[in-house]
Structure 1
Amino acid sequence: MRYDTPIYMQTIRSGDYNPDTGDYADGQVDEVEQIASVMDTGAEVMKLIYGGLKQGSLTIHLQNHYLDPFDRIRIGKKTYTVDVSRRLRTKQSFVVSEVL
C-alpha cells in the first residue's frame, strides 16, 4: 500500500446571520491535509455496504487515526461523503462515495 495521495478533511462552518440584511453569510470550508492510500472499492465490499455496485466509491486508508470531526473528504476536485469508517489498531479506513 502506498500512502502517496493527499486528501483533505473538510469541515463546513455555516455563515453568521446578518440582522441588517436578514440573510446568512456564505459558509466557510476549513481543510486539513492528510496523506492516504486511495483505491477503488472492491465489488464484494460494495455489495456488503450498498447492497449492489455503486459508481464513484473509494476506499481510503490512513496510517494513523484521524480524531478531529469532519463533514466530508476532498480528493483532487471531487468531494466524498463517508459511508463506513473503521478504526483498526493503528490505522483507520473509510469507504466513501462521491457527492454530486
Structure 2
Amino acid sequence: MRYDTPIYFQLIRQGMYDPKTGDYADSDPVETKLYADVTDTSTDTKQILYGDIKRNSKVIRLQQHYTKTYNRIRIDEKQYIVDFERKLRTKQILVVSEV
C-alpha cells in the first residue's frame, strides 16, 4: 500500500452570523493535510453498507489514528462524509461517500 494521496480533514463551524447578509453562514474550513491510501469501494462493501451500488464512495486507510474533530474530508476538490470507521491497533480505516 502506498500512502501517497493527500487528503484534508476539514472542520467547519456552522451558525456564524453574517451581519452583511443577515443569515447564518458556515465559516471557512480549517484543514489538516495527511497522506493516505485511497481506493474505490468494492461492489460487495457498497452492497453491505448502503444496500445498493449507486453511491460514489472510497476507502481511506491511514497509518495512524486521526483524533482531532472534523466534519468532512476533502480529496482533490470533492467533499466526503464518513459512513463507517474502524480503528485498528495503529491504523485507521474510513469508508466515505461524496456529499
TM-score (norm 2): 0.89
Distance 1:17 1:92, change over 3 A: same
Which residue does the alignment assign to 1:5?
5
Alignment correspondent of 2:84:
84
Matches within 5 A, 1:1-100: 1-14=1-14, 16-17=16-17, 22-24=22-24, 27-99=27-99
The one-letter code matched in structure 1 to 2:75 is I
Query: Which amino acid letter does the alignment assign opposite residue 61 of structure 1?
Result: R
Distance 1:32 1:86 in 2: 20
Tell me the TM-score normalised to structure 1 length.
Answer: 0.88
Q: Is the contact between residue 73 and residue 79 of structure 1 (CA under 8 Å) also seen in structure 2?
A: yes
Structure 1 residue 17 displacement after superposition? 3.0
Q: What is the total number of aligned residue pairs between the two structures?
A: 99
Amino acid at match of 2:40: D
Aligned counterparts of 2:26 and 2:45: Cα–Cα separation in 1: 37
Gaps of 5+ in 2: none
Identity of aligned residues (%): 54
Larger radius of gyration: 1
The structural deviation recorded for 1:25 is: 5.5
Aligned partners of 1:9 and 1:31 also within 8 Å: yes
1:21 offset after TM fit, Å?
7.2
CA deviation after TM superposition for structure 1 residue 2, in Å: 0.8
